[in-house]
Amino acid sequence: MQAGSALQTLGSRIRTERLNLNLTQQNLAECCNVSLRTYQTFEQTGFGSTRTLVNALIALGQGSVLFQILEKKSDYRSVEEFKRAKQPVRKRAS
């Protein structure tokens, strides 16, 4: 998954949760201390500050997921090891 599509999915999921709780974009914008337009952009694209993301998750009752993300240990010991694991495996012609 690429960063752009991951951000868009994140914004979409936050929107879905907001609607499930019957909250308006204005409600969440106020909780996030941002303008309505900034919040709308955040929901549509996923682009925004970390503070906006954290405030939105807390307002939606999902603040605990932030710590769950950090609990899992990485399978990689370095960035180089991660990059090697993500490289496509070259196949030889037979």
Model pTM above 0.95 = no
Give the pLDDT confidence score for residue 30 in this predicted structure. Answer: 95
b/e 26-63 (16+ beta carbons within 10 angstroms → b): eebbebbebeeeebbbbbeebebeeebbebbbebbeee
Say how many CA atoms lie within 13 Å of 6 toward its Cβ. Answer: 3
Q: Tell me the CATH number for domain 3-63.
A: 1.10.260.40
* Domain edges within the chain: 3-63
Give, as one character, the DSSP assignment of residue 24: -
Is the model's pLDDT at 4 over the cut of 90?
A: no
pLDDT band at 65 (very low <50, low <70, confident <90, very high): confident
* Interval 5-61: pLDDT, tens: 899 999 999 999 999 999 999 999 999 999 999 999 999 999 999 999 999 999 999
